[in-house]
């Protein structure tokens, strides 16, 4: 039976307008820590800022991958778009970043953030393009401290003979072998089983990492060695950024900066409350070390860094005000 024209018009008006399907582009960002962590805070702030700025045309998916080297490789070959990683394994891709991994290079957080935000840090980001990567923005992991299950560490001699998990980073490994430890490099994904099984006695990481990963459950002693600053970085696939319009790329860069601010704010907050929290969870904490004694013990390693890294850059960083 034929519908009258009036009836057909009424039916058409009653139908809700079908919304045109929104074509969304997905950007996957991997990072090695729980979502409720300083990296999670950075990635989430980026996601919110960019999705808002793009009017929902981009969907940013945050995933955990606690093997940083693997995640960087995935960005390089383009199977994921971005990673937030410490510089731990980054020197194996962009060797110049190893200069930033030298122990006792940065006086404090303000010094580290200042250098990374200065021309020095920006030039370093520029080095990534030659390696098929884009260094987008510096984020932060924080100053690293030593934990172990054997004994209280008060002086460099207490480190002698400890099997310490380090990142896959030759600068850090050299420092620990100089102190007489047995550095054992491995991905973060392998750390907790290695501590549980006694393959290693200790590890070193910033307070936010120790808290977020409950390392107090497998480590008894914490010493606030602050022996090295651990920068983090957002690295993305260059082809993905090239595919964006200039306006979207600019919005992505702004969102990345918002991510870096949120990440740094969370590091500061976690550092302020974390030591007390770890004490509450049962760790013994040595808060004061003789930093000069550690630096003296590291003298042979420092001499090697001067030779094998960029001595002029190291001086520029040390003298930065
Ligand atoms: O120790 C490491 O491997 C890193 O500090 C970590 C925890 C993966 C964060 O970048």
| Cα–Cα distance for residue pair 32/309, rounded to 1 Å | 27
Which of 1-5, 122-126, 264-268, 278-282 shows the lowest mean pLDDT across its residues? 1-5
Residue-level pLDDT at 5: 54
pLDDT in tens, 57-71: 999 999 999 999 999
Tokens of 226: 């602050």
Residue-level pLDDT at 207: 98
Residue 252 CA, ligand 1 centroid: distance in Å:
25
Residue 232 CA, ligand 1 centroid: distance in Å:
9
The ipTM assigned to this model is 0.99
Atom of ligand 1 nearest to the CA of 84: 10
Residue-level pLDDT at 13: 43
Residue 86 CA, ligand 1 centroid: distance in Å:
6
Residue 19 CA, ligand 1 centroid: distance in Å:
44
Residue of 310, 311, 320 lying closest to 91 (CA atoms): 310
For the cut 70, the answer to whether the pLDDT of residue 17 exceeds it is no
Question: Best of 83, 188, 274 to mutate for ligand 1, by most ligand atoms within 8 A of CB?
Answer: 188
Residue 119 CA, ligand 1 centroid: distance in Å:
26
pLDDT in tens, 266-279: 999 999 999 999 99
For the cut 80, the answer to whether the pLDDT of residue 135 exceeds it is yes
Residue-level pLDDT at 1: 38
Burial group, residue 16, by CB count within 10 angstroms (0-12, 13-18, 19+):
exposed
Atom of ligand 1 nearest to the CA of 68: 8
Percent of the chain clearing pLDDT 70 (strictly above): 93
For the cut 70, the answer to whether the pLDDT of residue 83 exceeds it is yes
Which of 8-17, 43-52, 102-111, 218-227 shows the lowest mean pLDDT across its residues? 8-17
Pocket of ligand 1 (CB under 6 A): 32-33, 68, 86, 88, 141, 167, 188, 205, 209, 230
Residue-level pLDDT at 3: 45
Atom of ligand 1 nearest to the CA of 209: 7
Q: Name the residue at shortest CA distance from atom 4 of ligand 1.
A: 86
Q: How far is CA 246 from the centre of its chain?
A: 27
Q: Name the residue at shortest CA distance from atom 5 of ligand 1.
A: 205
Residue-level pLDDT at 11: 45
Q: At what angle do helices 299-308 and 170-178 cross, to 10 degrees?
A: 150
Residue-level pLDDT at 18: 52
Tokens of 119: 């021309």
Name the region of 7 (left: φ>0; alpha: ψ -120 to 50; beta: rest).
alpha
Confidence of residue 255 (pLDDT cuts 50, 70, 90): very high
Confidence of residue 15 (pLDDT cuts 50, 70, 90): very low
Question: Best of 83, 191, 209 to mutate for ligand 1, by most ligand atoms within 8 A of CB?
Answer: 209
Atom of ligand 1 nearest to the CA of 85: 10
Residue 197 CA, ligand 1 centroid: distance in Å:
20
For the cut 80, the answer to whether the pLDDT of residue 6 exceeds it is no
Mean pLDDT computed over 179-184: 98
Residue 247 CA, ligand 1 centroid: distance in Å:
33
Atom of ligand 1 nearest to the CA of 165: 1
- pLDDT: which is higher, 6 or 236: 236
Mean pLDDT computed over 163-167: 98
- pLDDT: which is higher, 13 or 298: 298
Residue 99: Cβ within 10 Å count: 21
Residue-level pLDDT at 23: 79
Residue 85 CA, ligand 1 centroid: distance in Å:
8
Q: Name the residue at shortest CA distance from atom 10 of ligand 1.
A: 86
Q: Name the residue at shortest CA distance from atom 9 of ligand 1.
A: 86
């Amino acid at each position: 039976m034929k519908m009258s024209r009036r009836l057909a018009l009424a039916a058409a008006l009653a139908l809700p307008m079908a919304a045109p399907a929104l074509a969304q582009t997905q950007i996957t960002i991997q990072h090695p820590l729980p979502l409720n962590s300083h990296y999670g805070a950075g990635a989430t702030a980026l996601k919110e800022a960019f999705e808002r700025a793009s009017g929902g045309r981009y969907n940013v998916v945050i995933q955990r991958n606690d093997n940083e080297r693997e995640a960087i490789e995935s960005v390089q070959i383009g199977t994921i778009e971005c990673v937030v990683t410490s510089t731990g394994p980054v020197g194996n891709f962009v060797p110049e970043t190893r200069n930033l991994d030298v122990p006792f290079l940065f006086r404090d957080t303000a010094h580290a953030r200042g250098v990374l935000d200065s021309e020095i840090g920006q030039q370093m980001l520029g080095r990534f393009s030659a390696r098929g990567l884009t260094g987008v923005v510096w984020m932060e992991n924080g100053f690293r401290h030593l934990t172990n299950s054997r004994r209280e560490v008060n002086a460099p001699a207490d480190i002698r003979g400890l099997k310490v998990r380090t990142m896959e980073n030759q600068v850090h490994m050299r420092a620990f072998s100089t102190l007489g430890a047995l550095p054992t490099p491995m991905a973060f994904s392998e750390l907790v089983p290695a501590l549980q099984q006694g393959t290693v006695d200790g590890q070193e990481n910033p307070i936010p990492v120790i808290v977020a990963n409950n390392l107090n459950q497998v480590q008894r002693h914490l010493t606030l060695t602050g022996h090295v600053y651990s920068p983090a970085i957002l690295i993305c696939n260059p082809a993905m950024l090239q595919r964006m319009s200039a306006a979207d790329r600019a919005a992505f860069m702004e969102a990345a900066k918002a991510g870096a601010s949120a990440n740094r704010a969370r590091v500061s907050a976690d550092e302020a409350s974390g030591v007390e929290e770890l004490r509450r969870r049962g760790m013994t904490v040595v808060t004061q070390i003789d930093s000069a004694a550690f630096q003296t013990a590291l003298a042979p390693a420092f001499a090697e860094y001067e030779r094998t890294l960029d001595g002029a850059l190291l001086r520029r960083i040390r003298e930065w005000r």
